[in-house]
């Protein structure tokens, strides 16, 4: 094949690729379309500081990050958020509630990827609408007074929401990713790294060390153009224990083993009550949290994560879906979750009384 034919073939391939490209709104444009008010921005700053204080131990409360495995219905998510606000007033002396507001869903193979990617649940992948609906929903939650949390999955998405999140997580499958470590070093909120799916703690510990340091790396600026991002390091990168494919690691005896492995020099600990720690049974989150509360004086766990929605369990995407039920991992229904956290707050108050007696 001569050079002219090669050139023509390259041009045809390029034209085909162009047809498959859809230009999205720039981060700065989306922020202009859905702005965060000055008052709300101040609330986010206060929420981030509170979370950092909890992780550093200067605020003795337990951080509880709770909400659906992933948000697929903004209306149901806002109803859950309203309930969470009401619950916060009852437990705020012992528990600081953060809304789990995940709009990206990591997949082991294939499946629905989250509100950001497919907001209409029909495979149309209208990411423009996903960006708009996600940011609008986040702002409504913040204006209600809720701190919100999400997982950092796509590096391209961070610039659209970096002014909104109060806390972030790096999943078990991405804790080993260099770009996720670099991005975490650049984000203005505390970020936790999960141990590997095989139970490896070293993956998360390496990630925490990397994210705590300054980096220069290739990224996307607010204008949408590629740029060199310079980070100063995340001051509160911490460890999330989520169990493994073979067992749990939330128990104090397991935490002791990890502490011994690292000579007692561990960052702040957050426990994921789901995934490997619940053996993927959402109802098991109840006993997991209860044991964490019982052992907290010794373990010094700073926070926990729960998967909870309006209705127990989960369901497949269909034409007749149950309102308020997860379409990804199974969740603990609201009534059970509310009673669980009310009980947790009572137990924590009792611990304070016993210590002071």
Query: What domains appear along the chain, each with residue ranges and CATH number?
Result: 71-311+325-346 (3.20.20.70)
Instruction: Find tokens 């203005």 and name the residue.
Output: 188
What region, left, alpha or beta, does residue 233 occupy, with left being phi > 0 and alpha being psi -120 to 50 degrees?
left
From first to last of the 357 residues of the chain, give the pLDDT tens digit: 455 454 545 555 555 555 678 899 999 999 999 999 999 999 999 999 999 999 999 999 999 999 999 999 999 999 999 999 999 999 999 999 999 999 999 887 889 999 999 999 999 999 999 999 999 999 999 999 999 999 999 999 999 999 999 999 999 999 999 999 999 999 999 999 999 999 999 999 999 999 999 999 999 999 999 999 999 999 999 999 999 999 999 999 999 999 999 998 899 999 999 999 999 999 999 999 999 999 999 999 999 999 999 999 999 999 999 999 999 999 999 999 999 999 999 999 998 767 766
Closest CA to 115 of 135, 142, 96: 135
DSSP label at residue 279: T
CB contact set of 333 (below 8 Å; sequence gap of 6+): 308, 309, 310, 311, 312, 313
pTM of the model as a whole: 0.93
Q: Give the phi and the psi of residue 79 in degrees, each rounded to 5.
A: -65, -45
């Amino acid at each position: 094949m001569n050079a002219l034919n090669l050139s023509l073939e390259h041009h045809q391939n390029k034209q085909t690729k162009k047809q498959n490209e859809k230009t999205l709104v720039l981060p700065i444009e989306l922020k202009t379309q859905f702005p965060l008010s000055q008052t709300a921005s101040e609330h986010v700053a206060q929420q981030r500081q509170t979370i950092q204080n909890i992780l550093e131990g200067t605020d003795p409360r337990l951080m509880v990050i709770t909400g659906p495995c992933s948000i697929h219905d903004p209306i149901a998510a806002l109803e859950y958020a309203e309930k969470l606000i009401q619950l916060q007033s009852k437990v705020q002396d012992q528990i600081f509630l953060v809304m789990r507001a995940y709009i990206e869903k990591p997949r082991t193979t294939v499946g629905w990827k989250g509100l950001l990617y497919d907001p209409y649940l029909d495979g149309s992948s209208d990411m423009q609408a996903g960006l708009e609906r996600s940011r609008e929903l986040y702002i409504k939650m913040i204006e209600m007074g809720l701190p919100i949390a999400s997982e950092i999955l796509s590096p391209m998405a961070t610039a659209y929401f970096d002014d909104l999140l109060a806390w972030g997580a790096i999943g078990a499958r991405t804790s080993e990713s260099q770009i996720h470590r670099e991005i975490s070093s650049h984000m203005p909120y505390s970020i936790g790294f999960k141990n590997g799916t095989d139970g490896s703690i070293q993956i998360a510990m390496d990630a925490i060390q990397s994210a705590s340091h300054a980096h220069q790396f290739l990224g996307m600026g607010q204008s949408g153009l590629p740029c060199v991002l310079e980070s100063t390091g995340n001051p509160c990168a911490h460890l999330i224990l989520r169990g493994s494919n073979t067992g749990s690691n939330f128990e104090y005896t397991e935490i002791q083993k990890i502490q011994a492995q690292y000579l007692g020099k561990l960052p702040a600990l957050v426990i994921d009550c789901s995934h490997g720690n619940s053996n993927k049974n959402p109802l098991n989150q109840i006993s997991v949290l209860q044991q964490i509360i019982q052992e907290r004086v010794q373990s010094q766990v700073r926070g926990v994560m729960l998967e909870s929605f309006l209705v127990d369990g989960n369901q497949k995407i269909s034409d007749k879906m149950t309102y308020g039920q997860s379409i990804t991992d199974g969740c603990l229904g609201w009534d059970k979750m509310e009673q669980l956290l009310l009980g947790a707050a009572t137990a924590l108050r009792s611990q304070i009384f016993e210590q002071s007696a």
